[in-house]
């Protein structure tokens, strides 16, 4: 059988702000490039902070031959069957820790992810905006009534409050959690050493791809761990990730074929090997 250009190559791409731009649609040119990449033997792994419940509708519209890395690297899942390849839950102590945070910051919402459900305490306008973005819904209840273990926590509020919470969590409970922004008003909490970087490397190992053939593209702070672990990390022009002073290759933004641009670059790199 003839070898494809991208045999043994993995491209991990963020979704919101990278594959999907301001129109809230994935461009046909990116879908076509993705299909070409996979037809040529490449492993395209979508990486997102979204849960299974918040992404399965969108996944049906994409050419995804490989499992998806969900909840900021906490779980690797086949979107068509729901089969989980690996999962890393938050420690059970998260219930009490988040109850303490919520009591100190009554204006900050606390979303938790359990199985295919999203739960929320103290929902606010940022919660409604997030639900609209992910086209999903939540069950409202206090942290102590939410089923456990959680895959991740999403804290939603004003940037100043979230920055204070991030500092509090990392200073008091940094041995238990990763805590990183995914947008101005969203702060993500996963278990220690659970992030997109670790998730991509674990996914690559599962798929039999060597680390030196792993490439990543993403636009925000929660993408930086995987961009740092990649052979080459790519960031869309004008993105938060592109502004962080990291050693990244800048590509077109999500409204102008970001993923297509990355695949063009990888084709030049691999077509004559």
List pLDDT tens digits, range 151-205.
999 999 999 999 999 999 999 999 999 999 999 999 999 999 999 999 999 999 9
Q: Which of 51, 144, 34, 139 is nearest to 92 (CA)?
A: 144
Angle between helices 28-39 and 258-270 (to 10 degrees): 30
Q: Give pLDDT, residue 57.
A: 86
List pLDDT tens digits, range 220-234.
999 999 999 999 999
List pLDDT tens digits, range 86-108.
999 999 999 999 999 999 999 99
List pLDDT tens digits, range 21-67.
999 999 999 999 999 999 999 999 999 999 888 898 889 889 999 99
Q: Which of 78, 73, 60 is nearest to 12 (CA)?
A: 73
**pLDDT of residue 1 exceeding 60:** no
- pTM score of the predicted model: 0.94
Mean pLDDT calculated for residue range 233-254: 95
């Amino acid at each position: 059988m003839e070898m494809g250009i991208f045999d043994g190559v993995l491209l991990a791409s963020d979704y919101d702000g990278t594959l999907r731009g301001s129109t809230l649609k994935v461009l046909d040119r990116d879908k076509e490039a993705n299909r070409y990449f996979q037809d040529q033997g490449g492993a395209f792994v979508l990486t997102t902070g979204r849960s299974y419940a918040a992404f399965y509708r969108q996944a049906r519209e994409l050419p995804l031959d490989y499992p998806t890395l969900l909840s900021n690297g906490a779980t690797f899942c086949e979107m068509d069957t729901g089969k989980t390849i690996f999962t890393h839950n938050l420690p059970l102590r998260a219930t009490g820790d988040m109850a303490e945070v919520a009591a100190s910051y009554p204006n900050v919402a606390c979303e938790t992810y359990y199985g295919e459900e999203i739960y929320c305490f103290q929902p606010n306008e940022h919660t409604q905006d997030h639900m609209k973005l992910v086209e999903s819904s939540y069950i409202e209840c206090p942290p102590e009534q939410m089923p456990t273990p959680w895959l991740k926590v999403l804290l939603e509020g004003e940037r100043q409050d979230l920055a204070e919470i991030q500092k509090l969590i990392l200073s008091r409970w940094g041995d238990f959690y990763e805590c990183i922004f995914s947008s101005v008003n969203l702060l993500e909490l996963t278990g220690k050493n659970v992030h997109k970087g670790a998730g991509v490397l674990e996914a690559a190992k599962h798929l039999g791809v060597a680390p030196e053939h792993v490439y990543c593209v993403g636009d925000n702070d929660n993408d930086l761990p995987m961009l740092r672990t990649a052979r080459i990390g790519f960031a869309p022009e004008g993105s938060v990730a592109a502004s962080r002073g990291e050693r990244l290759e800048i590509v077109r933004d999500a409204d102008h074929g970001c993923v297509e641009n990355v695949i063009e670059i990888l084709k030049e790199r691999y077509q004559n090997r």
